[in-house]
Structure 1
């Protein structure tokens, strides 16, 4: 087992959380399972997830279905993409921040995948390379899916005009969230 710490310090840290997470996802071969309380990354990060899915990687996001910051939820929904399996946890807000890549590489910490966490805030994640921890995190992710609904393309296409406009507004304000 190997472990380390990655940080987001609002500065020019070349081993920042964003860079390390992007590299891990870019090198994934089998799966990338992400649980996030606030998900509003930039388009480049979304493109990294889409590219992984395009390579045949099982990319799944477990995100909140309700939020204490509704505008972030709308920004998140704007970025739902085909090829990435999206689940929304129902019933209560979700604040976990985990990523598991190929059942061996795990990141757990304070950073959300949004501008505020990755660019402005001082955040800290622990990265552990361990198949034992990776498999345990996979089991937790699958258990959490029991409380979530998968967001299908058909459901996305049935969104109301008001919902679509809310998502556009959330996306426009993404750099401030």
Structure 2
């Protein structure tokens, strides 16, 4: 008799397609698995509001350009560097077909997301009960996914207060408000 655990093996995601579903008022993440299949996750606004600040904080050291804590960049310089890096990542976003789920794929509502970071990679582990799926991203793919995520949140008319100006101002195809200073 086997005493193996009934815990499912973790899934490794190669890429995801992120789409807002108005009827569900949730984001659908359709993931392409490294093993060749697909999986569909639902992501709620509550989890997005908790996740985005962690993702943004990982990108913050990249804006300082190696400046030490004794001489940090002023906010407007850091924001300009972040905006430039964000626009560059968006410009390099490759045209790809979206990940398509098979009709028999189950859909899973994400309970929690673990975030693990190294200086080079961020790992997002989506948890649904005992099931786990991990997506690894370097800075540029993360910036690209943040642009998609922001756009889908905007389309879903979710509150955008979690998004910094350098993401909002970098959004492609949106008319930008004119920001002037009057002296």
Same structural fold, with TM-score higher than 0.5 when normalized by the shorter chain: no
Return the TM-score normalized by structure 2.
0.27
Greater relative contact order (CA < 8 Å, ≥ 6 in sequence): 1
Higher helix share: 1
